């Protein structure tokens, strides 16, 4: 524990600062040559990272390796996977928990890093397998003996964004006739829009909350149970739960089946636990869930490699730190050239920004450098027709991570003017990566492209359950590695507490009031209360 330190405490930090004063100029003729593109490439499970368009040299990479070694970044990752308490702030009251989301998928090597946690995961998976088989075979069915074809997933934050983005990503492989809907927001229109016209008699309702006390989720559960009641249905025969053992929701009388998650799994890292697996199992089948977990497990294994040049998530983490802390880019755009990944950035916003949007080190001292950046993104080519103008010619410096695949998911494609749409997609991806790097001069100042916009390209063969698992685990590990470098606790979220407290007070002020005037009164009341 005494060995946790920030990169600012490392000798290599100052050397990197010096390198950052004149970083590699990608617009210089010859700098971005074929050899560089072939050399700055890292292969990992399911993906290759092409990072020739990052502003790094071999010297910078060597220094980043030294930084990593001095901070024992990989060693900390290994300790995390083996059950060391990593969710803590030394010297202050904190959550004091293990961080073992990786144990949920550590099922394939025969020698799990943390056997006890993987055993618990295996037990829940076995329950899930039986449940899914019962749904398939009609052992579990509705009051009229009909099969369930819909599932409403009720959750928010970590119980929503990850599962939802993965569902969207893998929808192409869904079991015929099955549909999944999501309700998350306490905005009553969110639930109303889903419930409108849905045949509830053929619908399972999966309520997901680790604590069993999440305001939004409980409110939406009550709204949905009321709708079931109005439809003349017995909610206990339609509702499923994913929650912590002995949480207020852990009540078999109210749910057809309950699945457990454990307090060593943070919400934003919970997609490979039952939080994601139950819904995915319903939509895709159990085998696809196992493929998904295997992809994630492969990436976790690969993340234990010490050499940054052959550890994909670690390299991505360090390139991010180089761009953010040394080259001064304040935000990160993650741009998938895959429409199926259209919600992946929304998941990353939680996974990354909630983990590393911190200002305090793990020893309680203030940070002396920038921690997590703002993360955002939309799929290409759509973004090309939207915000890419700013990336190319704006005044903000944005780091860019492209994601792409050689092949499409559904295989429905046509050759038009000599190329297929998938080729057009990939051609645009490559073109943007190059254009951002090399820029272009022009006599007309409005047609100049300064270039030197650092970007990398994560390429996979095809977006499948396995590669989705690998992609998810890649970004999880990246975030964890960056947290270790900044020496922040990436696993708590104290920053959500103040808003909760004030919301409770304002709600008390509203209670029993009519609609008129409520807003002003509540604002003033809350302001006076401080």
Q: Where are the alpha helices (DSSP H) in 86-208?
A: 115-137, 161-170, 188-195
User: For a copy of itself, which residue of 2, 21, 34, 145 counts as binding (CB under 8 A)?
Assistant: 34
CA-to-CA distance for 465 and 429, rounded, in angstroms? 23
In this complex, which beta carbon is closest to a copy of itself, that of residue 47 or of residue 337?
337
| Number of alpha carbons in the 13 Å side-chain half-sphere of residue 282 | 25
Q: List, as one string, the DSSP characters of 82-101.
A: TT-EEE--TTS----EE--G
353: Cβ contacts below 8 Å, ≥ 6 apart: 372, 374, 375
338: Cβ contacts below 8 Å, ≥ 6 apart: 169, 379, 403, 404, 405, 463
Alpha-carbon 25 to chain mean position: 32
Cα end-to-end span (Å), the chain: 39
Site for a copy of itself in 324-343 (CB under 8 A): 330-331, 337-340
Shortest distance, position 7 Cβ to a copy of itself, whole Å: 14
User: For a copy of itself, which residue of 243, 247, 349, 482 counts as binding (CB under 8 A)?
Assistant: 349
User: For a copy of itself, which residue of 284, 302, 346, 454 counts as binding (CB under 8 A)?
Assistant: 346
In this complex, which beta carbon is closest to a copy of itself, that of residue 130 or of residue 198?
198
**Alpha-carbon dihedral angle through residues 406, 409, 411, 414, given to the nearest 10 degrees:** -60
In this complex, which beta carbon is closest to a copy of itself, that of residue 118 or of residue 384?
384
Contact status: 401 vs a copy of itself (CB under 8 A): no
User: For a copy of itself, which residue of 406, 455, 477, 482 counts as binding (CB under 8 A)?
Assistant: 406
Residue of 253, 417, 500, 511 with catalytic role:
500
Shortest distance, position 275 Cβ to a copy of itself, whole Å: 13
Site for a copy of itself in 95-154 (CB under 8 A): none
Q: Is 385 assigned a catalytic role? A: yes
Q: Which residue has the tokens 């569902």?
A: 167
User: For a copy of itself, which residue of 33, 137, 307, 310 counts as binding (CB under 8 A)?
Assistant: 33
Q: Is 397 assigned a catalytic role? A: no
Residue of 291, 354, 401, 476 with catalytic role:
354
Alpha-carbon 119 to chain mean position: 24
Shortest distance, position 422 Cβ to a copy of itself, whole Å: 6
User: For a copy of itself, which residue of 22, 144, 189, 253 counts as binding (CB under 8 A)?
Assistant: 189
Please state whether beta strands 97-98 and 85-87 pair in parallel, antiparallel, or not at all (unpaired): antiparallel
Residues in a beta bridge with 399: 332
Residues in a beta bridge with 336: 403
Contact status: 223 vs a copy of itself (CB under 8 A): yes
Strands (E), 338-491: 374-376, 398-405, 415-416, 419-420, 455-460
Contact status: 1 vs a copy of itself (CB under 8 A): no
User: For a copy of itself, which residue of 8, 57, 66, 94 counts as binding (CB under 8 A)?
Assistant: 94
Alpha-carbon 329 to chain mean position: 21
Shortest distance, position 309 Cβ to a copy of itself, whole Å: 19
Shortest distance, position 359 Cβ to a copy of itself, whole Å: 5
Contact status: 14 vs a copy of itself (CB under 8 A): no
Helix (H, G, I), strand (E, B) or coil at 380: coil
446: Cβ contacts below 8 Å, ≥ 6 apart: none
Cβ atoms within 10 Å of 237's Cβ, excluding its own = 14
Contact status: 378 vs a copy of itself (CB under 8 A): yes
Site for a copy of itself in 432-451 (CB under 8 A): 432, 434-435, 438-440, 444-450
Contact status: 476 vs a copy of itself (CB under 8 A): no
Q: Which residue has the tokens 């709204």?
A: 223
Q: Which range in 87-95, 114-122, 249-257, 299-307 contacts a copy of itself by CB under 8 A?
A: 87-95
Strands (E), 32-80: 41-44, 47-50
Cα separations in angstroms, 502 against 153, 299, 496: 28, 41, 11
| Number of alpha carbons in the 13 Å side-chain half-sphere of residue 30 | 0
Residue of 2, 35, 176, 385 with catalytic role:
385
Contact status: 403 vs a copy of itself (CB under 8 A): no
Shortest distance, position 311 Cβ to a copy of itself, whole Å: 23
Shortest distance, position 127 Cβ to a copy of itself, whole Å: 27
Shortest distance, position 36 Cβ to a copy of itself, whole Å: 9
Q: Is 237 assigned a catalytic role? A: no
Residue count, binding to a copy of itself (CB under 8 A): 155
Site for a copy of itself in 154-183 (CB under 8 A): 156-158, 160-161, 171-172
Catalytic residue numbers?
Answer: 354, 385, 500
């Amino acid at each position: 524990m005494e060995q946790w330190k920030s990169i600012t405490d490392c000798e290599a930090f100052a050397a990197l600062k010096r390198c950052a004063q004149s970083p590699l100029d990608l617009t210089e003729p010859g700098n971005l040559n074929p050899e560089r593109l072939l050399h700055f490439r890292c292969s990992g499970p399911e993906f290759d990272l092409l990072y020739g368009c990052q502003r790094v040299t071999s010297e910078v990479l060597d220094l980043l390796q030294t930084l990593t070694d001095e901070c024992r970044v990989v060693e900390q990752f290994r300790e995390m996977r083996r059950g060391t308490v990593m969710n803590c702030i030394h010297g202050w009251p904190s959550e004091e928990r293990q961080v073992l989301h990786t144990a949920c998928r550590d099922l394939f090597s025969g020698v799990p890093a943390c056997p006890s946690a993987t055993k618990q995961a295996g037990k829940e998976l076995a329950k899930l397998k039986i449940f899914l088989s019962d749904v398939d075979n009609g052992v579990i069915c509705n009051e009229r003996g009909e099969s369930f074809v819909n599932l409403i997933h009720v959750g928010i934050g970590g119980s929503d964004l990850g599962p939802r983005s993965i569902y969207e990503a893998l929808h192409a492989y869904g079991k015929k006739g099955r549909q999944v809907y999501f309700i998350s927001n306490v905005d009553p229109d969110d639930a109303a829009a889903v419930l409108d016209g849905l045949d509830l008699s053929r619908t399972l309702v999966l309520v997901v909350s680790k604590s069993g006390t999440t305001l939004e989720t409980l409110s939406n559960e009550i709204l949905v149970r009321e709708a079931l009641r109005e439809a003349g249905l017995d909610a206990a025969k339609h509702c499923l739960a994913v929650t912590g053992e002995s949480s207020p929701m852990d009540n078999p009388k109210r749910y057809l089946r309950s699945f457990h998650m454990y307090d060593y799994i943070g919400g934003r890292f919970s997609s490979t636990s039952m939080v994601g697996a139950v819904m995915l199992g319903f939509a895709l089948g159990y085998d696809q869930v196992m493929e998904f977990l295997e992809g994630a497990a492969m990436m976790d294994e690969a993340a234990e490699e010490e050499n940054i040049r052959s550890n994909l998530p670690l390299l991505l983490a360090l390139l991010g730190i180089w761009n953010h802390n040394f080259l001064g880019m304040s935000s990160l755009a993650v741009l998938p050239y895959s429409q199926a990944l259209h919600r992946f950035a929304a998941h990353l916003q939680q996974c990354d920004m909630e983990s590393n949007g911190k200002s305090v080190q793990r020893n309680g001292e203030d940070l002396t450098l920038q921690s997590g950046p703002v993360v955002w993104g939309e799929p290409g080519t759509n973004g090309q027709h939207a915000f890419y103008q700013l990336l190319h010619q704006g005044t903000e410096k944005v780091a860019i991570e492209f994601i792409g695949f050689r092949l499409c998911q559904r295989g429905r494609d046509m050759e038009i003017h000599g190329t297929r749409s998938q080729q057009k997609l990939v051609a645009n991806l490559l073109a943007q990566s190059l254009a951002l790097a090399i820029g272009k001069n022009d006599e007309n100042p409005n047609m100049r492209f300064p270039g030197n916009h650092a970007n990398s390209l994560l390429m996979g063969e095809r977006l499948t359950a396995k590669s989705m698992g690998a992609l998810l685990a890649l970004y999880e590990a990246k975030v964890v590695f960056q947290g270790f470098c900044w020496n922040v606790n990436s696993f708590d979220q104290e920053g959500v507490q103040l808003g909760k407290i004030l919301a409770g007070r304002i709600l008390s002020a509203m209670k029993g009031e009519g609609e008129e005037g409520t807003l002003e009164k509540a604002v003033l009341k809350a302001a006076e209360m401080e």
